[in-house]
Amino acid sequence: MILDGGLREFIRRADAVFPPDYLSQPPARQREMYRDLCRAFDRPRPAGLTIEERSVPAGGHEVPIRIYRPEGPAPQACLLYMHGGGWVLGDLDSHDGVTAELAAEAGITVIAVDYRLAPEHPYPAAFEDSAAVLDRVAADVENFGIDRARLGVGGDSAGGNLAAALCLRARARGGPALRAQVLVYPELGHGMTEAGRTKARDAPLLSQDEMDYYARAYLGPSGRTDDPYAAPLLAEDFAGLPPAYVQAVEYDPLRLDAEAYAASLTEAGVAAQLEVAPGLVHGYMRARFISAAAGRAFDNLCAAARRLLAAD
């Protein structure tokens, strides 16, 4: 049961932004709604951050990135962060508050990736853009002012999917070396199974029907794939992947994804911490300033990123 009054207010305001038929709207209109929701809960960036805009070449186009550097000497630990939004919604601005606060609270450089969106750019576009940024950052750590030995990947929801996929790719290619993966309510492919589709099917803010829509936008009409880079839970082996912090929330059809992924890592001998935040819903990070429970979960996320990456 959702008892936190601030979270209930967040759900009410989010439902007011997204009408029941919003999935029937064109993607451009959905993105406008999402921007409205994000702006409604924005706060000023924390003090003491240096912000830099750059772009990275990727197969004939440029991928915009935004770099958040907290005060302190270089080189710094770094988290490459992919935003959520079902591979359809979101950009650097939608998650600016989240990534800025993560950098400030964890004491690490955060590099946010503005990957191409579906359905205009279906899989593997978002994955390839994210991989191109990771490769460039890892190859030019001096220019980015980061510590090669303390580079990790992370993201929320669809961004968590991309981060986990980058870990599989790095293992298969023998690099870049990754210190950690930090995943928040990630979409990892469990929803493609019948067991995954029955858990919290009608949860607030993200239902299974909505997840099906986003999967079709990203993967094509079937919404299914046998490619682990699109659905990391399909990997045959999880050994040798980076240590992980995986955060799930109680009321979310993606909770099983997080639980299954953390269990698979642990069984393969990978250090993995699973946190299931009680009473929270998908997208809770936007409510962190009005909900005590959301604020605690976000603090735990920042502490985990600091522990995994910032420690010498």
Tens of pLDDT, residues 144-184: 999 999 999 999 999 999 999 999 999 999 999 999 999 99
Whole-number Å distance between alpha carbons of 279 and 6: 12
Digit-coded pLDDT (tens) for 67-123 = 999 999 989 999 999 999 999 999 999 999 999 999 999 999 999 999 999 999 999
Radius of gyration of the chain, Cα coordinates, nearest whole angstrom: 18
| Cβ-Cβ contacts under 8 Å for 79 (sequence gap 6 or more) | 102, 106, 108, 109, 110, 111, 152, 153, 154, 182, 305, 309
pLDDT beyond 80 at 240: yes
Print burial letters for 229-248: b (CB count within 10 Å at least 16), e (below 16): bbbbbbbeebeebbbbbbbb
Six-digit token string for 193: 């199974």
User: Among 18-22, 105-109, 184-188, which stretch is predicted with the lowest mean pLDDT?
Assistant: 18-22
Can you give the pLDDT at residue 223? 84
312 pLDDT band, cuts 50/70/90, is low
Is residue 252 among the annotated active site residues? yes
Can you give the pLDDT at residue 95? 98
266 pLDDT band, cuts 50/70/90, is very high
Which of the residues 157, 190, 257, 291 is marked catalytic?
A: 157
Q: What is the pTM of this model?
A: 0.97
User: In this structure, what are the phi and psi dihedrals at residue 175, rounded to the nearest 5 degrees?
Assistant: 150, 170
Can you give the pLDDT at residue 200? 64
Digit-coded pLDDT (tens) for 191-234 = 655 554 455 677 899 998 899 999 999 999 888 899 999 999 99
DSSP structure class, residue 307 = I
225 in the Ramachandran plot: left (φ > 0), alpha (ψ -120 to 50) or beta? beta
Is residue 157 among the annotated active site residues? yes
Other Cβ atoms within 10 Å of 61 Cβ, number: 13
Six-digit token string for 169: 């790719």
Can you give the pLDDT at residue 191? 62
Other Cβ atoms within 10 Å of 190 Cβ, number: 23
Digit-coded pLDDT (tens) for 24-82 = 999 999 999 999 999 999 999 999 999 999 999 999 999 999 999 999 998 999 999 99
303-311 average pLDDT score: 94
Q: What are the Cα distances from residue 262, in Å, to 14, 181, 226, 243, 304? A: 29, 11, 20, 10, 15
**120, 27 in Cβ contact below 8 A?**
yes
- CA-nearest of 68, 52, 74 to 101 is 68
Mean residue pLDDT of the chain comes to: 95
Residue type, 147: D
SS3 state at 173: helix
Which of the residues 135, 147, 156, 252 is marked catalytic?
A: 252
Q: What's the angle, vertex CA 300, arms to CA 17 and CA 96, rounded to 5?
A: 45
Q: What is the domain extent for residue 154?
A: 5-310
Residue type, 85: G
When divided into structural domains, the chain yields a total of 1
Residue 142: give its domain's CATH number: 3.40.50.1820
